[in-house]
Structure 1
Amino acid sequence: MAAKHFPKGLDGRQRDANGEIRQKRSDTLVRTLRQRYGDDFAKGMRADTKLKTVLQREGADSLSDVLKKK
């Protein structure tokens, strides 16, 4: 059985089956996010910190909320 691929939106981000943008997993590492969002992302936090910890420290519900605070 072939893996099911969901279409990407115009912005190139992966979408769920219902068309909503997929959320980053809470175990994504800060080093991975820095590759995408720059070295200043989660400044002062170690590279092996998980997104879940960043969200808790920032009092944010999602990665989008953290990025909006910048």
Structure 2
Amino acid sequence: MEQPGLNGRHRDQNGEISRKHGNTLVRTLRKIYGSSFAEGADPDEQLSDVLAEMDEPSLSKLVHDHEQGHLDQKVADA
């Protein structure tokens, strides 16, 4: 089922992101995407814990980098 704001991408992709990067801390992702990433989430929470409640701009950035194959490297570099 498609969600508005995800440019035709499916939320089903979140499961794959969670499996691969679920233990990544919000703090690490904020180093990559800025302080407003996953707004309202504690920096010590894992991505798998906040993924379902993430705001659309944060989710869209994450899904985009995942689809492009850049997320692994960005997390490793952070």
Q: What TM-score comes out, normalization by structure 2 length?
A: 0.44
Greater RCO (Cα-Cα under 8 Å, separation 6 or more): 2
Higher-Rg structure is 1
